[in-house]
Amino acid sequence: MSAVSALARAPEHSMEETAEDFKRAMRRLTSTVSIIATGVGSARCGMVATAVSSLCTEPPSLLICINHSASLYQPLLSNQRFSVNLLDTTQSDLVGIFAGRLKGPARFEHGDWDHAEELPYLLDAQATLFCRVDARLSYATHEVIVGRVEKSLVGERISPLLWQDGQPAKSHALNH
């Protein structure tokens, strides 16, 4: 039996069952871990994110998704600018810090942070993209934000910190 015909015969699920199945499915979607940051001076805020995706190259842009209840949400909308810092495998300790273990500016006491384009950025991130909010779509509990990339900093080393099955992971090249 093909997967399609098995799905066609699958019983109806409740909303709760569908949500749980969705969460289990998403644990199989491995994503690069980023820290999205905004703010000026001591009024900095940031959060860890895996809902980051390139959109197009003309103009250079990306998508980020932020929960309306996230502490970063209102400051990012007020500032209209943000940085996306793609983490390296050596930076896994920042995940818990920016996922809620610490609050507000205290998060920036960890990691090697600086400012450029009036935005906080992680000096040793694999890459940092400095963005301006270009478009928004509100959907349920989240805001989908199109960030137009104004500047990029790219390190030489490629060793992305990934998030897979609810925990940090790293990639490796496949031999052909």
**What mean pLDDT comes out for the span 111-140?**
94
Longest dimension (CA), the chain: 60
pLDDT greater at residue 142 or residue 13:
142
Mind listing the pLDDT tens digit for each residue in 16-54? Answer: 887 887 777 777 777 899 999 998 667 899 999 999 999
Give the helix ranges, DSSP H, for 30-166. 73-79, 93-96
Residue 171 has a pLDDT of 86
Six-digit token string for 16? 């709760």
- CB distance 112 to 123 below 8 Å: yes
Give the pLDDT confidence score for residue 40 in this predicted structure.
67
pLDDT of residue 167: 83
Query: Which residue spans within the chain are E strands per DSSP?
Result: 31-32, 34-38, 45-49, 52-57, 60-67, 81-86, 113-116, 119-122, 127-139, 142-154, 161-164, 167-170
Q: Is 153 exposed, middle or buried (0-12, 13-18, 19+ CB in 10 A)?
A: middle
As a whole-number percent, the residues of the chain with pLDDT over 90 amount to: 62
pLDDT bucket at 2, cuts 50 / 70 / 90: low
Round to whole Å and give the CA distance between 130 and 68.
Answer: 21
Higher pLDDT, 121 or 9: 121
Residue 136 has pLDDT above 90, yes or no: yes
Confidence (pLDDT) at 6? 54
For the stretch 50-63, pLDDT in tens is 999 999 999 999 99
Q: What's the CATH code, domain 30-167?
A: 2.30.110.10
Instruction: Give me the pLDDT at residue 45, please.
Output: 94
- The confidence score (pLDDT) of residue 143 equals 96
122 DSSP 8-state letter: E
Q: What pLDDT is stored for residue 117 in this prediction?
A: 75
Residues 111, 87: Cα–Cα separation, whole Å: 11
